[in-house]
A and B are shown apart, each in its own frame.
Chain A
Amino acid sequence: MKTRPELTLEDCLKISAAAQAEARRNNWLVAIAILDDGGHLLHFARMDGATPANAAIAVEKARTSALSRRTSGRWEQLIKDGRTGMLNMPGILPVQGGVPIVADGTCIGAVGVSGVQSREDEQIAQAGIDALLKR
């Protein structure tokens, strides 16, 4: 039988805390969403000063990565490269800032961040994931 790892609340708290720390270190105000591999919310936090739009965008970036198993930045790049048809993909927000969480070769969820420049959003998301997976 196949088994796969699953994110616990404790894992999510670790990811979110590290992501928030990364944002605070740079004086960035962001929203951070953590979703499971089905694209459903596990944890969410919006720092004071991040907008309501950031809240929704963070979730959508995370959903994009959770369901497609790749960074939302990859989708952005595809479109930049001319694959404009990708703008019409269902459930895809092709903007950098969403990163899948891959453990034991399996995507177990994703982190989405919104609030600053897109590559900075991704930097924050990655910092959160690294806190969980890198020793």
Chain B
Amino acid sequence: MKHLLRAVVLAAFAFATYAQAQSYGAPITLEQARKVMAAAETEARKSNLNLAISILDTGGHLVLMQRMDGAFFASADISRDKAWSAAGYRRPGKAFQDRLATGGAEIRILRLRGASPIEGGDPIMADGKVIGAIGVSGGSGEQDGVVSRAGASALK
């Protein structure tokens, strides 16, 4: 019974998270973006990573971006692409990455317009709605993902 209850609660939570992720809220403000950037940068410095970090609004347009010393110039655009994908599809790049990894018909994700199937891009949520997205590039996918999620969770 206890297990069943836990399963129901978990399922309800999972559904709630999914349902919430279905709509956009008011676009992220510069002040909110600064909080997200600060949290991401702190996480990057912890691991001595030189990264590019982009924060976009609900329309996929730049709000705040910075490239740390030593980061690849390519990372500037890649971080933006990752954030665009997370904003436009309202899901992390990791979700696409995992689906792509299952192979078969899922390789169609490679042809999905603007989708970035690489870890390091996440929607930014506030009050259960997507208000923008963050994208990170310059480390390994896993490292970018850690930094990106640290940024995205700064407003929670």
Contact = CB atoms under 8 A, between A and B. Distances in A.
Contacts of A46: 30, 61-64
Interface in B28-48: 29-31
Interface string A9-44: 100110000000000000000010000101011111
Contact of A55 (B61, B68, B73): B61
What does DSSP make chain B's interface, helix, strand, loop or mixed?
A: mixed
A59 B80 CA distance: 13
Nearest to A56: B61
A48 interface: yes
Contact of B29 (A9, A41, A42, A48): A48
A2 to B, nearest CB: 20
Interface string A89-107: 0000000000000000000
A41 B76 contact: yes
Residue of B57, B64, B65 most packed against chain A (CB within 10 A): B65
B66 A31 contact: no
B64 to A, nearest CB: 5
Nearest to B29: A48
B68 A9 contact: yes
B64 A44 contact: yes
A13 B68 CA distance: 11
Contacts of B76: 40-42
B67 interface: yes
Contacts of A52: 57, 59, 61
30 contacts: A9-B67, A31-B62, A36-B73, A38-B73, A40-B67, A40-B76, A40-B77, A41-B52, A41-B65, A41-B67, A41-B76, A41-B80, A42-B67, A42-B76, A43-B67, A44-B54, A44-B62, A44-B66, A45-B30, A45-B63, A45-B65, A46-B30, A46-B62, A46-B64, A48-B29, A48-B30, A55-B61, A55-B63, A56-B61, A56-B62
Interface of B: 29-31, 52, 54, 57, 59, 61-69, 73, 76-77, 80
Interface of A: 8-9, 12-13, 31, 36, 38, 40-48, 52, 55-56, 59
